[in-house]
Structure 1
Amino acid sequence: MLKRIANLPTAVQHSLIYASAIALSKGLALIMVPVSTHFLTPEDYGRLDVLQTLADLLSIVIGMGLAETLFRFAGSADNEIEKRKASANIFGMAICLGTLALILGQLFAGPISRLLPGGIAELDTRLILASLSMVGTILIPLAWLRMSGMAWSYLIGTAGRVALQVAIAVPLLFMGFGVTGVLCATLASAILLCSWLIWKQLKDTGISFEFSRFKTYSIYGGPLIFVGISGFVLGSFDRWILADAVGTAEMAQYALAAKFGLITAVLIQPFDLWWHARRFSCLKEGDGKTRCAKIGSLGVVIAIIAALFIAAAGPTMVRLLTPSTYHESIAFIPWLAALAAVHNMTSTLAFGAMSENTTVRPAMIDGAAAIIALIAYLTLIPIFHAWGAIAATCLALGSRLAATYWVSQRSLKLPYQLRRLLFTGAIGVLCVSLISSAPLSWLVLLQNCGIIVGFIATATAAGLIPIPKKVLNMTAQLLNRS
């Protein structure tokens, strides 16, 4: 098996390894669902969710766009020495931010725990904040592994952390430590992974504290905090308004559909993990702009294919995994999968804007999109409920995609085949609307497979999916023989 993978093109090899890392991490995390729900009361599970939401928000601030900063400055370095120097300094910046986050987090853990809903214990707040302080210190070495093509090490790091977390959390839950046990497992696994990654990073690049560089990196990475917060608004805030407008029962249908729709992003992630780490270095190669445009266009097609797959498979997954009271969510899945694809396309086509020395313009675009979403949520959700949330998100993400493409092309003009991309995107929307959500049967399966294959054929005919030279040569030989 490993020999077969080694014979594949490097891009395919790394994408498969990243896909394995994601699959292992998600599979191991899935083990915790029945265990944690068995040992935690609903109130405890709710407290754990509150702390996780806090972690999601604060990780955006502490992370400070450091991974993208690494890709921008180390990836576009003129030589290997400068590449390693940039990486060493960004790693030093991550250490400084982590130390500051640890000190401030422990100082203000008491007030923060009292502000959180659900009666969160101060000890639990301290544990989650301590884990969060290592976000940047973990993020930078993992990004360096991706950028350096060390996909196997990345797999060991990401899947290994989840495995450690599960291995520690399960016995602690059995011993009755509850939420505190889960958080202790999170902290312990973070410390172990952080120690290993620090050792690897010091070995590869070392660490530097050239504070004159920190200003440049902050100008680039700082605005990405607002990008992350805007993403949080576009990704989660609609459920808060929906719960207030229609109650938690109807909101639960939408929330479940959103979870399945977001699997689209998981399917696209192997490509993103490979491409986002290498696009700046690819730009510096011969004919780099053309190659970047082709790979970016392929990323758009992959996003649409992932959305079509979830639109087809999601309804069956809901029917198999949930009771019939949740089956109303099926109607929302295709469109939420499509919106997840649009969100990903924006990240792919934002390369030009991300190639500048600052990320102010992407932050402004995302901030504007978040404002549009908030106004549309408040206007449409009370009237159209879940469909209003979908329409509002579509308006915000569509505007964001168009603005991002326009700004990116002004910053770095890449030779995208725009008409073909627009045509293929329109066909993708049509295919999503044609996907059947009916109970699984041979007819439904054939219909949905036919739609997906038809889209792939259309994208290939449009020249957006590259055909390997071996296939072309074999086809030419067969035609010559006939």
Structure 2
Amino acid sequence: MNLELGRRNECTFNRTYLWHSLITSKLVGLLLQPWVTQWLGTTEYGRLDVLITLITCLSLIVTFGIPDALCRFAHDSAIKRNELLSGALGVLLLICGGSSLLFITNITTIQDWLPGSPPLFSLYCLVVNLCLNAVCTVPLTKLRLAHKPKQFVTALLLFSFSQAILIVLLAPRYGINGIMAAGLLANLFNLSTYPLIYLALALSFKTPNTLWTSNHPCRTIGFYDIRH
């Protein structure tokens, strides 16, 4: 009875902790909004909004529903979790590499096509940010599956606050390029906090022939998530 009550209390604490931390990370961006608007002006802020919309849409394509689908497969006792996560990381790296190459080779066309024609530097930062965001979803998913809410929340808050500080330092001088560079540097910092997780996943990685066999979950993981 005491054990069950302890688990319920721990679950309630974790949910409350996660809820408050997610609200805090969102509030950081919300509090910066008036200053960002003042630093950028109407035209630059419109370009920033275009870039945010673009990266939000592209991230849905690049991640391919893999993080959510991982949570469904990870509790299958017949599947080794580290092997599943390392396979997903390999798939994401493959998608990011192909998408980045396609984007960069047509970057001037994309710049002309986008409303306001955002600066090329911002578009290059967008590509890198897109890939880093996708790659970071795997260690974050690993922390969720390992029931480590404190580490998961710490990673989110470190990213939010580091990005906010960099925006305050760079945006007044460099405008939209400074904001995109701040996101890139914050993502690199976020990526550097998971070296042990990436090492474990690299050691668990299977060869391409094994990874793409018909019974390996990473072959159908994205399609499974879309169908369901």
Q: Indicate conservation of the 8 Å contact 1:36/1:173, yes or no.
A: yes
| TM-score w.r.t. length of structure 1 | 0.42
Q: Structure 2 CA distance, aligned partners of 1:97 and 1:135? A: 13
Q: Is the 8 A contact 1:141 1:201 kept in 2?
A: yes
Corresponding position of 1:35:
35
Structure 1 position 159, deviation (Å): 1.1
CA distance in 2, matches of 1:17, 1:218: 35
Residue 189, structure 1, aligned to residue 186, structure 2: yes
Task: Name the aligned partner's letter for residue 108 of structure 2.
Answer: G
Percent identity over the alignment? 20
Q: Matches of 1:144 and 1:115 in 2, distance apart?
A: 38
Cα–Cα, structure 1 residues 137 and 77, in superposed 2: closer, same or farther, change >3 Å? farther
Q: Report deviation, 1:100.
A: 3.0
Q: Letter of the 2:50 partner, please give it.
A: V
1:401-427, Cα deviation, whole Å (9 max, x unpaired): xxxxxxxxxxxxxxxxxxxxxxxxxxx
The answer to whether the 8 Å contact 1:89/1:210 transfers is: no
Highest relative contact order (Cα 8 Å, sep 6+), 1 or 2? Answer: 2
Aligned to 1:44: 44
State the 1:209 CA deviation.
4.0
Gapped runs of 5+ residues in structure 1? 1-5, 224-357, 363-482
Shift in Å at residue 217 of structure 1? 2.1
Match of 1:58 in 2: 58
Query: Which residue number corresponds to residue 9 of structure 1?
Result: 9
SS at match of 2:177: helix
**Contact 2:83–2:205 (CA under 8 A) maintained in structure 1:** yes
Pairwise CA RMSD: 2.2
User: Once the 2 structures are TM-superposed, how far is the Cα of residue 21 of structure 1 from its aligned partner?
Assistant: 2.3
- Which structure has the bigger radius of gyration? 1
Match of 1:116 among 108, 114, 117: 114
Amino acid at match of 1:104: L
Q: Output the amino acid matched with 1:217.
A: C
Query: How far 1:139 moved relative to its partner?
Result: 0.8
The answer to whether the 8 A contact 1:105-1:126 is kept is no
1:164 CA displacement: 0.7
Shift of 1:109: 1.9
Distance 1:33 1:184 in 2: 17
User: Alpha-carbon deviations, 1:264-300, whole Å to 9, x = none?
Assistant: xxxxxxxxxxxxxxxxxxxxxxxxxxxxxxxxxxxxx
CA distance in 2, matches of 1:114, 1:124: 14
| Cα distance between partner residues in 2 of 1:54 and 1:168 | 22
Letter of the 1:55 partner, please give it. Answer: I
The total of aligned residue pairs comes to 218
Shift of residue 111, structure 1, vs aligned partner:
1.6
Q: Tell me: CA distance 1:361–1:203, structure 2 relative to 1, closer, same or farther (3 Å).
A: closer
- Aligned residue number for residue 26 of structure 2: 26
Normalising by the residue count of structure 2, what TM-score does the alignment of the two structures yield? 0.86
Task: Quote how far apart the aligned CAs of 1:359 are.
Answer: 4.0
Residue equivalent to 2:227: 361
Which residue is equivalent to 2:127?
129
Q: What is the distance in 2 between the residues matched to 1:173 and 1:83? A: 41
Amino acid in the other structure paired with 1:85: E
Residue 210 of structure 1: how far off its partner (Å): 3.7
Q: How far apart are 1:29 and its partner, in Å?
A: 1.1
Which position in structure 2 is the counterpart of 1:394? none
Match of 1:220 in 2: 221
- Deviation string, structure 1 residues 46-73 (Cα, Å, up to 9, x no partner): 1100001101110001111111232122
Instruction: Provide closer, same or farther for how the CA distance between residues 209 and 99 of structure 1 changes in structure 2, counting only shifts above 3 A.
Output: farther
Give 1:108 shift.
2.4
Is the Cα–Cα contact under 8 Å of residues 106 and 130 in structure 1 kept in the other structure? no
The residue that corresponds to 2:3 in the other structure is none
Residue 96 of structure 1, aligned match among 90, 94, 97: 94
Matched with 1:208 is: 205
Give the distance between the partners of 1:166 and 1:195, measured in 2 at CA: 18
Unaligned residue ranges in structure 2 (runs of 5+): 1-5
Quote the Cα distance in structure 1 between the aligned partners of 2:166 and 2:110. 26
Give the conservation status (yes or no) of the 8 Å contact 2:92–2:134. yes
Task: Please give the alpha-carbon distance, in whole angstroms, between the structure 2 residues aligned to 1:30 and 1:200.
Answer: 33
Residues 138-287 of structure 1 correspond to what in structure 2 (within 5 A)? Answer: 138-174=136-172, 176-197=173-194, 199-206=195-202, 207-211=204-208, 212-214=210-212, 216-221=217-222, 223=223
Provide the residue aligned with 1:317 in structure 2. Answer: none
